[in-house]
Amino acid sequence: MRLQQLIYFEKIIEKGSINEAAKALYLTQPSLSNALKELESEMKVQLLVRNKQGIIPTSEGREFLIYCRQILDQVNLLEEKFKNEPLRKQNFSVSAQHYAFVVHAFVELLRTVNADEYKFTLRETETENIFDDLASFKSELGILYLNSFNQQVLTKLFKEKGLEFTPLFEAKPHVFVSRSNPLVAKKSLKLADLEDYPYLSYEQGETNSFYFSEEILSTWDRKKNIKVSDRATIFNLMVGLNGYTISSGIISSELNDDKIVAIPLEYNDVITLGWIKQQQLELSPVAQKYLELLEEHIRGYGFDIIV
């Protein structure tokens, strides 16, 4: 396997077409096709398939691409340091439950990128999709929480899917409400205080398992329930309907315009927020930088990082 083959493979994935990749690489299409066949033959695996939309990677191809990019990133760092070569196009993807601190760190990461071209993806998604994204190598990192209710089930899933969980910090449950909600007059809240208010939670698709819920107390019976699919909607409903949800207590005023507040919930539970990745993969430099920024942002809200 040669370095040039990895460059060719990444370009084909980027363009979604052997013909377009050949043009970008100043090669003939037959030459690029032969190089790809040689790589697949040497690796003893089919990396790409053709369909009506063009070229797409197989599941093995997506996994191979992760390793490929790690190698090319390291080569690029060497060239940048010793040959003053410009940075190559950077790629990074993270899948997460709906947390403002995840978005904030992602914004900060993009501000540090010193490149004319990059392809970054942030997927705020259902919990099951996080597992699928990591298993299919669509994302390098996943962000979610564990607590006493879901820990046994999710830990079993981590093992089955070859994932490892690294805790970031622990938080006590907080109720998120708008500043105009009558509940803000209280310094802390009991479950009984919430009975007459609409409960807002994130839908979890067809599986809809209580263990995949992004909110604790997912089995608690409530009179008023509203399911949403994104953070913007959940915050709008907090303001418009005096709704509430339960989360970690971290709110980014920079992203949420100071309209939402977090009030401690008097309930004996601990939320452990953390990140997951494929066990066999080493984190890329971009992923490591993202985690550094994530930890920095979390510390800024007064939480201790678990070491």
Q: How far is CA 196 from CA 146, 192, 225, 241, 306, in A?
A: 28, 9, 11, 12, 37
> What is the pLDDT at residue 218?
86
pLDDT digits (tens, 9 = 90+) for 288-304: 999 999 999 999 888 99
Q: Is residue 298 part of a domain?
A: no
**Which CATH number is 14's domain given?**
1.10.10.10
Residue 123, strand partner residues: 95
Q: What contacts 24+ positions apart, CB below 8 Å, involve 164-167? A: 164/276, 164/277, 164/278, 164/279, 165/274, 165/275, 165/276, 166/274, 166/275, 166/276, 166/277, 167/272, 167/273, 167/274, 167/306
Among 82, 109, 142, the domain boundary falls at 82
pLDDT digits (tens, 9 = 90+) for 209-218: 889 999 998 8
Q: Taking residues 247-253, what's their average pLDDT? A: 80
Rounded Cα distance, 235 and 228, in Å: 10
Q: Is residue 205 part of a domain?
A: yes
Among 29, 50, 82, the domain boundary falls at 82
Q: Phi-psi region for residue 137, left (φ > 0), alpha (ψ -120 to 50) or beta?
A: left
Q: Taking residues 175-195, what's their average pLDDT? A: 94
- CB-based contact 47:61 (threshold 8 Å): yes
Q: Taking residues 25-43, what's their average pLDDT? A: 89
Q: Is residue 163 part of a domain?
A: no
Asked if the model's pLDDT at residue 256 lies above 60, the reply is no
Among 82, 104, 135, the domain boundary falls at 82
pTM reported for the whole predicted model: 0.75
> What is the pLDDT at residue 88?
67
16-20, 206-210, 257-261: which has the highest mean pLDDT?
16-20
pLDDT digits (tens, 9 = 90+) for 263-287: 999 999 999 999 999 887 888 888 9
> What is the pLDDT at residue 250?
85
3-class SS string, 241-259: HCCEEEECCCCCHHHHCCC
pLDDT digits (tens, 9 = 90+) for 86-115: 666 788 999 999 998 999 999 999 998 877
Q: Is residue 253 part of a domain?
A: yes
Q: Please, which residues have CB within 8 angstroms of residue 113's CB and are 6 or more apart in sequence?
A: 90, 120
Q: Is residue 297 part of a domain?
A: no
> What is the pLDDT at residue 280?
77
Q: Where are the beta strands (DSSP E) in 64-135?
A: 90-96, 118-124
Query: Token digits for 261?
Result: 């507040």
- CB-based contact 298:290 (threshold 8 Å): no
Q: Taking residues 227-244, what's their average pLDDT? A: 91
Computed on alpha carbons and rounded to an integer, the radius of gyration of the chain in Å comes to: 22
> What is the pLDDT at residue 63?
87
Q: Taking residues 224-247, what's their average pLDDT? A: 91
Domain count, the chain: 2
Query: Token digits for 231?
Result: 């953070």
pLDDT digits (tens, 9 = 90+) for 43-87: 999 999 887 767 888 888 888 988 888 888 888 778 776 776 666
Q: Is residue 267 part of a domain?
A: yes
Q: Binning pLDDT at 50, 70 and 90, where does residue 2 land?
A: confident
Range of the domain at 182: 171-271
Q: How far is CA 174 from CA 31, 102, 167, 190, in A?
A: 59, 17, 19, 11
High-pLDDT (> 90) share of the chain, %: 52
**Which CATH number is 266's domain given?**
3.40.190.10
Rounded Cα distance, 49 and 161, in Å: 24
Q: Is residue 304 part of a domain?
A: no
Between the two ends of the chain, the Cα-to-Cα distance in Å is 38
Q: Is residue 175 part of a domain?
A: yes
Query: What is the residue-averaged pLDDT of the chain?
Result: 89
Rounded Cα distance, 71 and 176, in Å: 43
Q: Binning pLDDT at 50, 70 and 90, where does residue 182 land?
A: very high
